[in-house]
């Protein structure tokens, strides 16, 4: 015996109440296996692949790409158990009997106790006996008959099934979302990437190549053509809400320190030329991250958070170091967990992996929460200094500026040196000016003379 089974949008473990459906990986009529990826959804922080909680046949899809779905709402329906083969077409007598019985109320079938099925991204909402399940939408077997031809549909004895889709075009979830937003059909594209991967450039080129719709004769272009409206959702919505909450909750203060980092740049050159470290991409950001971990051990007030409900200051004895990453979907801040115990090379590898994963839209939701302090590298954009806004729940954020070759006092003379500016924003409820100054001075001292780390 087969049975209908709804798949509700699961709780993705971020405390979020909704997600946007980016794309379906399956269609009605497809047979899926347990844990097969069936859809891509975008939360406020990341694109997540949803695996199927059961093996069965897809009988209904309850949302369209671009639609926002609440956690616990029915996302799709499966037919599970029994044979996966399509059901035979009903005869004329059977169709007539079914039509007659449709007018009578159906006796509710006994339901099994609510059970939560595990999947790769969390547990879906448990079935609630007090609320009826949403019925799967039926797809008509044949086109609906007109009033003038009442017997056309009844004369058909075959079922028209939706054709099985061809192999899915190879692309990443962010590229599929971009294609959906721009109205580009991925099926019609040939990917220019490795092994035929469809890239962002392919989608943008296809969108720009489409002819603009012709305006009616004598009509002028509508005023809306002069602006572009983009719905605020996903990462952009989450970032905006977090920044407003932080800016108007925590009293921000910012300090600056310009440092001669020539010794650090020379050390980086040596590491790049050393065969023993050739497989590690050590950057000034990694150096600043290591210096930050050392300085936090000496000034732990910057590694804390304000608990407004308990009226307490919570000090962390570990460092989950957030690294701000600019992506196509907006700003993400994944964090390196337990960074205080990592070597410089381990930090460099972890930062590189986090950045690559974030830009590909593959950051696990767990890596986007639980940070204790953050670093943002504005120097990569050629900027020297700024006043970064704190991540909510963190006491400080350090911005590293561009490294510039410029005249600088060195050993009593003026010489060309590598110089960088550090900007530290902090929550003045948690951190006093003296504590922030000591922390910033320690980071600057390590970058000025990396060997000083051995004395701290």
Q: So what's the pLDDT on residue 211? A: 61
Confidence of residue 334 (pLDDT cuts 50, 70, 90): very high
Residue range 173-208, CATH number: 4.10.320.10
**Architecture label for domain 1-83+118-128:** Beta Barrel (2.40)
Could you tell me the pTM of the whole model?
Answer: 0.57
Identical fold at 173-208 and 251-455?
Answer: no
Inter-residue contact 395 to 226 (CB < 8 Å): no
Which of 6-15, 218-227, 332-341 is least confident? 218-227
Residue pLDDT, tens place only, 338-392: 999 999 999 999 999 999 988 888 888 788 889 999 999 999 999 999 999 998 8
User: 39: closest CA among 10, 82, 13, 3?
Assistant: 10
Q: Is 428 one of the catalytic residues?
A: yes
- Opening angle at CA 169, ends 47 and 38, nearest 5: 45
pLDDT in tens, 391-405: 888 999 999 999 999
Position with higher pLDDT, 147 vs 415: 415
pLDDT at 390: 92
Q: Tell me how far apart the alpha carbons of residues 64 and 130 are, in angstroms, rounded to a whole number.
A: 27
Burial track 358-394 (b if 16+ CB lie within 10 A, e otherwise): bbebebebebbeebbbbbbbbbeeeebbbebbbbbbb
Q: Tell me the CA end-to-end span of the chain in Å, nearest whole number.
A: 70
Domain ranges of the chain: 1-83+118-128, 173-208, 251-455
Residue 252 exposed, middle or buried by CB count within 10 Å (0-12, 13-18, 19+): middle
Percent of the chain with pLDDT over 90: 42
Question: What topology is assigned to 251-455 in CATH?
Answer: Chloramphenicol Acetyltransferase (3.30.559)
Torsions phi, psi of 350, nearest 5? -65, -40
Q: Whole-number mean pLDDT of the chain?
A: 79
Choice among 180, 280, 410, 428 that is catalytic: 428
């Amino acid at each position: 015996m087969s049975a209908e089974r709804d798949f509700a949008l699961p709780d993705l473990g971020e405390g979020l109440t909704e997600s946007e459906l980016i794309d379906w990986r399956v269609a009605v009529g497809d047979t899926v296996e347990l844990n097969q990826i069936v859809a891509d959804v975008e939360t406020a922080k990341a694109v997540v692949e949803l695996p199927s909680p059961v093996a069965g046949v897809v009988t209904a899809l309850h949302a369209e790409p671009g639609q926002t779905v609440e956690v616990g709402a029915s996302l799709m329906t499966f037919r599970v158990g029994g044979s996966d083969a399509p059901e035979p077409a009903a005869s004329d007598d059977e169709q007539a009997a079914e039509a007659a019985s449709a007018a009578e109320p159906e006796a509710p079938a006994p339901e099994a106790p609510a059970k939560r099925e595990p999947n790769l991204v969390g547990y879906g909402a448990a079935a609630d006996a007090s609320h009826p399940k949403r019925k799967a939408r039926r797809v008509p077997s044949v086109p609906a008959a007109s009033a003038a031809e009442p017997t056309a549909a009844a004369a058909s004895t075959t079922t028209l099934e939706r054709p099985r889709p061809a192999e899915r075009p190879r692309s990443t979830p962010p590229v599929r979302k971009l294609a959906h937003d721009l109205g580009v059909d991925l099926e019609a594209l040939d990917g220019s990437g490795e092994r035929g991967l469809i890239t962002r450039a392919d989608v943008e080129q296809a969108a720009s190549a489409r002819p603009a719709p012709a305006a009616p004769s004598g009509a002028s272009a509508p005023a809306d053509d002069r602006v572009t409206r983009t719905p605020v959702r996903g990462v952009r919505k989450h970032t905006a809400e977090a920044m407003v909450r932080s800016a108007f909750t925590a009293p921000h203060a910012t300090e600056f320190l310009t440092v001669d980092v020539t010794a650090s740049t020379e050390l980086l050159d040596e590491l790049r030329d050393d065969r023993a470290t050739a497989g590690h991409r050590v950057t000034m950001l990694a150096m600043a991250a290591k210096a930050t971990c050392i300085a936090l051990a000496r000034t732990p007030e910057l590694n804390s958070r304000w608990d407004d409900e308990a009226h307490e200051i919570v000090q962390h004895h570990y460092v989950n170091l957030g690294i701000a990453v600019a992506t196509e979907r907006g700003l993400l801040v994944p964090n390196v967990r337990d960074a205080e115990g990592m070597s410089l090379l381990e930090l460099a590898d972890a930062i590189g992996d986090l950045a690559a994963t974030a830009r590909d839209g593959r950051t696990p939701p767990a890596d986007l929460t639980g940070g204790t302090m953050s670093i943002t590298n504005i120097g990569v954009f050629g900027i020297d200094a700024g006043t970064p806004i704190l991540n909510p729940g963190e006491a400080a954020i350090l911005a590293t500026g561009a490294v510039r070759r410029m005249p600088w006092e060195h050993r009593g003379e003026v010489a060309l040196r590598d110089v960088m500016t550090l900007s530290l924003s902090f929550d003045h409820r948690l951190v006093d000016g003296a504590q922030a100054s000591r922390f910033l001075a320690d980071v600057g001292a390590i970058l000025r003379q990396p060997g000083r780390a051995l004395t701290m």
